Structure 1
Amino acid sequence: MVKKWVSLTLTAVLAAGLLAGCGSKSGDGATKEGETAKSNFNETGMPIVNEPLNLTFFTGKSPTNGSKFEDTLVWKTYKDMTNMNITFNLVPFETLTEKRNLALAGGDYPDVFYSARVGSAELTRYGEQGVFIPLNDLIDKYAPNFKKLMEQYPDIRKGLTMPDGNIYSLPSFYDPELLSMLIGTPLWINQEWLDKLGMEEPKTTEEFYAYLKAVKETDLNGNGKHDEIPYSATGITGLVDHLKGSWGLGTSGLGHKFVDVDPETGKLRFTKAEPKYKEMLEFMNKLYKEGLLDKEIFTIEGGALNAKGQEGLLGATVVPNPETVMGRKEYIGLGALKGPHGDQLYSHVKVPMVHVGAFAITDKNPNPEATIRWMDYFYGDEGAQFYFMGKEGETYTKNADGQLEYVKEITENPDGLTQDQALAKYFTWLGGSYPGLVRESWFKGSETLPSAMAAAEKAEPYAVKEILYNFNFTLEETDIMSSIGKDIQDYVTEMEAKFVNGSASFDQWDEYVNTLNKMGLEEYMRVYQAAYDRYQAE
């Protein structure tokens, strides 16, 4: 994994990019620049610009990505097609929020935020300030693929339109019919170890517990040591989001992590203070106390987790697919586990528009028309297929049924690379968050492998049906959500970890709930409910 940048390095690189890619924005300089950009721009066809255009992108990077996007097949090829030279300034996802906020608040931001997970609150705030430019007219004139997609799925426009009526971003959008993509990271367990233990695939939370306990107590990898790790992941969030459905929570999908719709009242409820949520955390605390969760679960990063997986140490995990990130084919994805009260909901389902602010153009961009065209290509079939599959004969072939398949150098790499490691030479979609369109016909990542599709098939009967897209708060509401709301969410996240690891006793639960109320939970829910009511009325 590429080493993390420190803030000073990021600022220096961004500043250098701005000097290279952006001219004056005032007086005659701005007028001349606008005229030059217009004369250089082609409304249709390739190249997009006649004279080379240099742009700088603030870009989120996953541990599975390569360290230089510009060297990959997709971006080298697209540079030649478009005549647009993109410098991708990579920021690891682990530090992305902090670096993005610093860049926006300090004014040291580039031409585009790409794969940078810009949230609705930031889009509203910085859109109204003029940092992010409105895309409504640009989409209408120069983004035919995305315009068509919004017509096909009206919820996209609904989710992208901020309270002031403007669209400031383009999303990462998954085909709503492709459940394996909406699940993204199933709860995987080791089928070979299940067989050795003589156990059936867990169907309940108690059976899952029994499996993890058996893993801890048995030398399943046969090395004479008890080094098996029953469950590991990067943090506890993935497990929380899988298990909460076993207690009847998470009815609205992963788009709203702290609230869902109460099936009895039809109103929003704050799930993190529900008695059933306490029960779920008590279950997770039992796993932690008995050593069934990795002792490094709160600190481990993706690369280290994948290394443990490659060593064959994991009984269960939450990742896109052990086959691609760990080179392990012995895992199966679980369906919805039935909880102690009979609840059986598969709650780990993303919003199809999984990242609202996957692509946002700033006011420092010298040619927004060319930039929107550059992005729109990937919302059409041709561009999306190219983005995910590359070039026929070089990175993929067509089988007898006309299905696209990666070449064997990728799927069975001669140098022993995992599929993701082999793909990183050619592509940058690994790890998610990219703007664009995902459909099964051309997306051949871990989510469409047979093991992932089988997991989705198990999940389907119990999967969240009424997935709520994001709500867009007014500027006043955003202020409340970014102050009271952020404090509440940070406190919940902190206490969630403490309840699980035992540093907070469950005797403190009432105190925890009282603290939430004192922090302004009633106001938080009033704002959330108002946004939900607007959403329902649209």
Structure 2
Amino acid sequence: MTTSPFTRRAVLASSAVLASTAALTACGGGSGGADTAEKIENPDENINPEGLPIVEEPVTITLMSRRAATSAEDWNQVSAAKEAQARTNIEVDWGLVAEEAAEERRNLLLTSGDYPEAFYRTGVPGGDLAKYGEQGVFVAMNDLIDQYMPNLTARLEESPALRTGLTFPDGNIYSLPGIYDPGTLGLRYQTKLWARQDWLDAAGMTAPETLEEYRAYLEEAKGAADGAIPLGGSGIGGIFTCLYGTFGIANKGTDAGAAVDLDPETQKVRYFPTSDGYREMLEFLHGLYADGLIQQDIYSSDFAAFTAAGTEGLLGSCAVQAPAGYFGEVGTKYVPLKPLVRSAGDEPAWHAVRSELSSIGNFVMTDNCEHPVEMARWMDFWYSEEGAKLFFLGVEGESYEEVDGRAELLPEVAEAASIDEGLRQHALFLGGWYPGWATGDWFRGVETSEQSTEAAKVVKPYALKEVWPAFTFTAEESQRITTLGNDITKYADEAVAAFITGERSLDEWDDHLATFEQIGLPDYVAAHQTAHDRRS
């Protein structure tokens, strides 16, 4: 675990803390802002200078936490939580709220002013981070990170894009990150395009590399089995993602924001669904759909139907992390495809690349925090190697063991009906939406399975070198972008579905672009350009 010297009276009355306190008074936030700032400036004598336990006498912190149905009903009974309490001396009132009610509950608490010390794993949107951060309701954590979170600081230094993506226009950090280890390929290159090797063999074909070859394979797959679905999915999104590089769009990765990238001609931010490349992608997909090569109910299907079709051996091609993780034994018959190119001789490009910053907004400290330094150090524990391993794997000897230098799940865990079932009473990551540090060393999901990792190696040589984390905006900008973005996204989704299914002709493309203009796309793009310029 990384540690650093700890000063009893840290110089934390910085402009960020003072500004937050002043904003709190002006905007009528909770009543604890000044007290929280004082506690940050003058840490309690109960706190140990460094290492563990964090405090000599037990301290209880209170959270509101989103609980997914896949996680344990009582997190304090999970072995990782019990072990963390024993190591840190920090007791946790998790304040669990069912995931379907978490957003409404969080909003009600914020409106009432009777909110907990922190919101945990509730996915606070960027607009709310800016709004409540500017008001002083959410604590600016810059100095807490620098003074009391050496493990997180080490992660930020390893990947500067993390700090870039966390920092708001006022220079403050209002939440802690979800981090994907840059070297864990299955997390960075998640969705890949797959084809059935046995169906390729039966047709006397090699793995397709061009769009023409891929179409030819799908035509063969159509007759490979009764009820065969040449190309299927639980939606069209994953298929889009795997074709972005082919058509030169999403050239800054898949986390930059709502369909924005950098125009290669103007070097300005663009909304890429209005680009020529996007139109060409829709033309290609419409052609497949018109000939019955794409699942005809793809816009009304769901994940259960998709996995059932895969398990029954009906899918010729799909876009997922790893087919074996969803289809069982049948899934082992698939091979990953290199990035498809439009014409033989073109340079392959893979744009389906995730940022190291997997999420923000899943740990937010409020001005009602009674134990800000203790809370910061407790959160920092989860960014250490020992804390992260505990979070994802549970306790050594209870749920996993070290085998030849690698953590391996015990048989009774690995052989459960699912990873979730096996780890429910041992690990805390279940249900996602976590602030933490995920790597293949301890994250056990389909993304880091052997099949997913080996497929990621296929696309890695062609992957983007620069990936944008999502942009951050001021509260005023966020409100405007949300309003515009909802209208733009709703129209875009409806139009794209109509273009692919043939309900609408691509001959109407100019009218389609004009509609975007009418509903405010120029202002939407301009706001993203402003955010981009702030980072430059």
TM-score range, shorter chain: 0.7 to 0.9
Aligned to 1:397: 401
- Find out whether 1:492 has 2:492 as its counterpart: yes
Counterpart of 1:338 (choices 341, 354, 363) is 341
Distance 1:325 1:109 in 2: 40
User: Aligned runs of 1:59-208 on 2, under 5 Å?
Assistant: 59=66, 61=68, 69-82=75-88, 83-87=90-94, 89=96, 91-92=98-99, 110-208=116-214
Task: Flag the 1:205–1:144 CA change in 2: closer, same or farther, 3 A.
Answer: same
Q: Is the 8 A contact 2:208 2:217 kept in 1?
A: yes
Task: Flag the 1:105–1:208 CA change in 2: closer, same or farther, 3 A.
Answer: farther
Task: Flag the 1:351–1:100 CA change in 2: closer, same or farther, 3 A.
Answer: farther
Q: Which amino acid aligns with 1:58?
A: S
Aligned to 2:513: 513
Please list the CA deviations of residues 285-322 of structure 1 after superposition, one character each: whole Å capped at 9, or x if unmatched: 33334444444533444455444444444333333333
Distance 2:199 2:101 in 1: 36
Q: Is the 8 A contact 1:270 1:525 kept in 2?
A: yes
User: Aligned runs of 1:314-353 on 2, under 5 Å?
Assistant: 314-327=315-328, 328-340=331-343, 342=346, 344-353=348-357
Aligned to 1:469: 469
| Unmatched segments (≥5 aa) in structure 1 | 1-23, 220-224
Deviation at 1:145, TM superposition (A): 0.8
Distance 1:524 1:28 in 2: 34
Please list the CA deviations of residues 221-242 of structure 1 after superposition, one character each: whole Å capped at 9, or x if unmatched: xxxx42x333333322221121
Q: Is the 8 A contact 1:120 1:472 kept in 2?
A: yes
Q: Is the 8 A contact 2:194 2:318 kept in 1?
A: yes
Deviation at 1:143, TM superposition (A): 1.4
Distance 2:255 2:43 in 1: 38
Aligned to 2:460: 460
Q: Which amino acid aligns with 1:235?
A: G
Distance 1:187 1:431 in 2: 25
Please list the CA deviations of residues 428-457 of structure 1 after superposition, one character each: whole Å capped at 9, or x if unmatched: 435643211123333343333332222121
User: Aligned runs of 1:24-63 on 2, under 5 Å?
Assistant: 26=31, 38=44, 42=48, 44-48=50-54, 50-51=57-58, 53=60, 55-59=62-66, 61=68
Please list the CA deviations of residues 359-382 of structure 1 after superposition, one character each: whole Å capped at 9, or x if unmatched: 222334443333222221121111
Q: Is the 8 A contact 2:131 2:474 kept in 1?
A: no
CA RMSD of aligned residues (A): 3.5
Deviation at 1:144, TM superposition (A): 1.6
Counterpart of 1:384 (choices 384, 388, 398) is 388
Deviation at 1:277, TM superposition (A): 0.8
Q: TM-score by structure 1 length?
A: 0.81
Aligned to 1:264: 265
Aligned to 2:232: 232
Q: Is the 8 A contact 1:405 1:444 kept in 2?
A: no
Q: TM-score by structure 2 length?
A: 0.82
| Unmatched segments (≥5 aa) in structure 2 | 1-28
Aligned to 1:355: 359
Q: Which amino acid aligns with 1:462?
A: Y
Please list the CA deviations of residues 146-175 of structure 1 after superposition, one character each: whole Å capped at 9, or x if unmatched: 122223333322221111121101111112
Please list the CA deviations of residues 485-513 of structure 1 after superposition, one character each: whole Å capped at 9, or x if unmatched: 33223322332233233333323322221
Q: Which amino acid aligns with 1:337?
A: L
Aligned to 2:451: 451
Task: Flag the 1:175–1:523 CA change in 2: closer, same or farther, 3 A.
Answer: same
Deviation at 1:356, TM superposition (A): 2.4
Please list the CA deviations of residues 405-450 of structure 1 after superposition, one character each: whole Å capped at 9, or x if unmatched: 2233344x1x5x2445434453343564321112333334333333
Distance 1:480 1:74 in 2: 42
- Find out whether 1:482 has 2:482 as its counterpart: yes
Q: Which amino acid aligns with 2:94?
A: T
Please list the CA deviations of residues 167-216 of structure 1 after superposition, one character each: whole Å capped at 9, or x if unmatched: 10111111223332111232333334433444322222333333333333
Q: Is the 8 A contact 2:67 2:431 kept in 1?
A: no
Greater Cα shift, 308-317 or 231-240: 308-317
Q: Which amino acid aligns with 1:73?
A: S
Distance 2:473 2:250 in 1: 21
Q: Which amino acid aligns with 1:482?
A: T
Aligned to 2:17: none
Q: Which amino acid aligns with 2:120?
A: Y
Deviation at 1:348, TM superposition (A): 0.6
Counterpart of 1:408 (choices 393, 407, 411) is 411
Deviation at 1:244, TM superposition (A): 1.9
Aligned to 2:9: none
Distance 1:194 1:110 in 2: 57
Q: Is the 8 A contact 1:258 1:271 kept in 2?
A: yes
- Find out whether 1:215 has 2:221 as its counterpart: yes
Distance 1:307 1:492 in 2: 29
Aligned to 1:367: 371
Distance 2:311 2:511 in 1: 42
